């Protein structure tokens, strides 16, 4: 499958959660994300987490679509008064430029700066996405990664 023609974002709604939950069941995707829920297969915890996000006026959660199909999510929240973002793209759609396109659209609409992002130090694809979008590494941290059952290095990025 080639690069999608159209990548769009829309406000995430409850009806999107089945697809988003499904994407987070892929073992390799969970391992690369690293900093996941303790049990990514716990649907009740997933739904509770997402309902909190959707009910929080300070959170901007968007569903990513490629050629009309739901393929992931992008979320912005505030940590210590600074915007922080994360994204997830269906493992079956990696390598198609979707994450970069979706993040670019999201950042163009986002008024807050600076914006922070965190990524497992060995997640080269996510690091490449952030750097393509102008994020620069501003530090490193070590944290417990549920998906790996261990503390791992995490890179801290910032976009001014």
Q: Which CATH architecture has domain 7-117?
A: 3-Layer(aba) Sandwich (3.40)
The rounded percent of the chain whose pLDDT value lies above 90 is: 82
Per-residue pLDDT of 52-89, as tens digits, reads 999 999 999 999 999 999 999 999 999 999 999 999 99
In the chain, which ranges are E strands? 7-11, 60-66, 69-79, 82-89, 115-120, 136-145, 150-159
Three-class SS of residue 38?
A: coil
Q: Where are the domains of the chain?
A: 7-117
d(C-alpha 80, C-alpha 143), whole Å: 18
State the average pLDDT over residues 132-157.
Answer: 95
Three-class SS of residue 142?
A: strand
Q: What does pTM read for this prediction?
A: 0.91
């Amino acid at each position: 499958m080639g690069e999608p023609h159209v990548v769009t974002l829309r406000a995430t709604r409850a009806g999107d959660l089945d697809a988003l939950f499904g994407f987070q069941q892929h073992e390799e995707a969970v391992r690369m994300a690293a900093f996941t829920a303790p049990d990514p297969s716990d649907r009740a915890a997933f739904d509770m987490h997402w309902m909190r996000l959707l009910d929080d006026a300070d959170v901007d959660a968007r569903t990513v679509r490629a050629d009309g199909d739901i393929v992931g999510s992008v979320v912005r929240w505030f940590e210590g008064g600074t915007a922080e973002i994360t994204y997830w793209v269906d493992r079956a759609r990696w390598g198609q430029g979707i994450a970069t396109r979706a993040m670019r659209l999201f950042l163009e609409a986002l008024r807050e700066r600076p914006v922070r992002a965190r990524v497992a130090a060995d997640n080269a694809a996510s690091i490449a996405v952030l750097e393509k979008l102008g994020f620069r590494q501003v530090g490193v941290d070590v944290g417990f990664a549920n998906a790996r059952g261990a503390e791992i290095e995490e890179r801290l990025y910032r976009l001014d």
